[in-house]
Chain A
Amino acid sequence: MSRPRGLAEAIDVLRADPAAVPLGGGTDLLVALRAGERSVRHVVALRRVEELAGVTTGPDAVDLGAGLTWAGMEAQVGATLPALAAAARAVGSPQARNAGTLGGNLGSAAITGSTLPVLLALDAGVEVAGPAGTRTVPAGDLVRGPGDVALHAGEIVTRVRIPRARGPQQFLKVGQRGSVITAVAQVALVLDLGARRVRCGVGAATPVAFRPRAAERAAEAAIDWDAVTADPDLPRRFGALVAADRPPLDDLRASAAYRRHAVAVLAERALARALAA
């Protein structure tokens, strides 16, 4: 176990030992270790790394440290990034909300991960740092498959940068209340009134969260952006288009048919609520 205090030290430790694994709050990693699903010889605890802490709210962007917990998101971005705050609130246990981090959520790249669909809808850039320096990866390029993050050896997620958008945001998931049960579908939606864009992130329904681009374009064209209104049938059509974007997973938690239905309902409701806001 290493407990670096700064980013440079953390990266040195990770570079020196290819078997070293970063640790955020441990709410995924320790569960996997206890279950014998993973075994790790060298853990690098990131909790004290100052560069991963804090939230900076600027005029154009909100900058979140990878060490921010769900509880921190709930408390600190409710006004600027309501969709992310809602995703944090829906995490099914206060203890997990106190410990689990943004960086760990992206690092796990679980199918059911809540932050990725929200970061897609928010058009976020993910800053990663490693032995070769710092680079920014668009949220849409960060996860290649379940558990497969586009990080080079020794790299960690350091910050997430989100351009500020004026307009309503929604986050909905199936199983909202009893959220200890892992989600089978989640939808984040941003109505960006300044750019006149609809951005949507769909998670838990496919191996990797995605943006339903055709549905977004159709909604953008159908919205009267001056009045922020639309034909009352638009949310239903939008939901159907989002669900038709790609085939959903079919697994033990839910059938493909159920997921398709859930995605359509969530996307419809998200757009309807955003237009009513």
Chain B
Amino acid sequence: MPDIDVRINGIRYQDHVEPRLLLVHYLRDRLGLTGTNVGCDTSNCGACTVLVDGTGAKSCTMLAVQADGTEITTIQGLAGGEGAGAPEDWHPLQKAFNAEHGLQCGYCTPGMIMSSVDLLQRNPDPTEDEIRHGLEGNLCRCTGYQNIVKAVQAAAGELRAAGAPGAVVGGQS
């Protein structure tokens, strides 16, 4: 079986994986990183979005072996460190989705936030149109998207005020 050597949320993993194992199953079933959801089997919904070397990718449409040599951030690595952390430590996007009601059932939220991170890294001050374009690959059944757009705008303002680029790749190991 092939080997992978990958950093996930700042931690290095060297593992043997089945060649046909999907990255999302490696994250969820092997590493217990169940913050990343699976919402479809057609690569449409975006619930499984993670950052691979800083750009948004659908982890259901990638083999775990393809992640070899990359650096991955999941929703659980966003606030730095392990797991969720205290609300005051959340990433500005996590805070804004909460404050602006950018979620209802929350199923799409981990993917939606990771795509928003990717978007804000490339474009710190997106228009509403640019936000909708940047989140085209993420579906939400509940919110009608309006509050998601508001949350991304709020977080973008917060990040700009803090002088921080959206970059959040990795935590500490």
A residues with a Cβ closer than 8 A to B are: 1, 3, 23, 26-27, 30-31, 33-35, 43, 45, 47, 71, 92-96, 98-99, 179-180
Q: What is the CB-to-nearest-CB distance from A121 to chain B, in angstroms, rounded to a whole number?
A: 25
Residue B71 interfacial (CB < 8 Å): no
Q: What is the CB-to-nearest-CB distance from A177 to chain B, in angstroms, rounded to a whole number?
A: 9
State whether A180 and B136 are in contact (beta carbons under 8 Å apart), knowing that A35-B41, A94-B119, A98-B57 are contacts in the complex: yes
Q: Are A95 and B58 in contact (CB under 8 A)?
A: yes
Q: What is the CB-to-nearest-CB distance from B162 to chain A, in angstroms, rounded to a whole number?
A: 24
Q: Which listed residue, B42, B61, B136, touches A92 by the CB 8 Å rule? A: B136
Q: Are B63 and A95 in contact (CB under 8 A)?
A: no
Known: A95-B56, A99-B62. 9 other contacts (CB 8 A): A26-B61, A30-B62, A34-B22, A34-B60, A47-B66, A92-B136, A94-B119, A94-B137, A95-B115
Q: Which listed residue, B20, B22, B42, B137, touches A93 by the CB 8 Å rule? A: B137
Q: Are A31 and B42 in contact (CB under 8 A)?
A: yes
CA distance A71 to B119 in the complex (A): 12
Contacts of A94 in B (CB 8 A): 56, 115, 118-119, 133-137
Q: Are A95 and B57 in contact (CB under 8 A)?
A: yes
Q: Are A99 and B136 in contact (CB under 8 A)?
A: no
Residue B43 interfacial (CB < 8 Å): yes
B residues with a Cβ closer than 8 A to A are: 2, 19-20, 22, 41-44, 46, 49, 55-58, 60-63, 65-66, 68, 115, 118-119, 133-138
Q: Which listed residue, A43, A71, A95, touches B46 by the CB 8 Å rule? A: A95
Which 9 A-B pairs rank lowest in CB-CB distance, beginning with the nearest?
Answer: A93-B137, A1-B19, A98-B55, A95-B137, A95-B58, A31-B43, A30-B61, A1-B65, A95-B56
Which residue of chain B is the closest to A69 with respect to CB atoms? B55
Q: Are B63 and A43 in contact (CB under 8 A)?
A: yes
Contacts of A180 in B (CB 8 A): 44, 136-137
Q: Are B62 and A45 in contact (CB under 8 A)?
A: no
Q: Are B42 and A98 in contact (CB under 8 A)?
A: no
Q: Which of A43, A45, A71, A98 has the most CB of B within 10 A?
A: A98
Q: What is the CB-to-nearest-CB distance from B129 to chain A, in angstroms, rounded to a whole number?
A: 10
CA distance A35 to B133 in the complex (A): 27
Q: What is the CB-to-nearest-CB distance from B38 to chain A, in angstroms, rounded to a whole number?
A: 11
State whether A99 and B43 are in contact (beta carbons under 8 Å apart), knowing that A26-B63, A94-B115 are contacts in the complex: no
Contacts of B55 in A (CB 8 A): 71, 98
CA distance A141 to B39 in the complex (A): 40
Q: What is the CB-to-nearest-CB distance from A88 to chain B, in angstroms, rounded to a whole number?
A: 13
Q: Which listed residue, B57, B63, B115, B137, touches A1 by the CB 8 Å rule? A: B63
Q: Are A35 and B42 in contact (CB under 8 A)?
A: yes
Contacts of B65 in A (CB 8 A): 1, 3, 45
Q: What is the CB-to-nearest-CB distance from B144 to chain A, in angstroms, rounded to a whole number?
A: 15
State whether A43 and B43 are in contact (beta carbons under 8 Å apart), knowing that A1-B65, A26-B66, A98-B56 are contacts in the complex: no
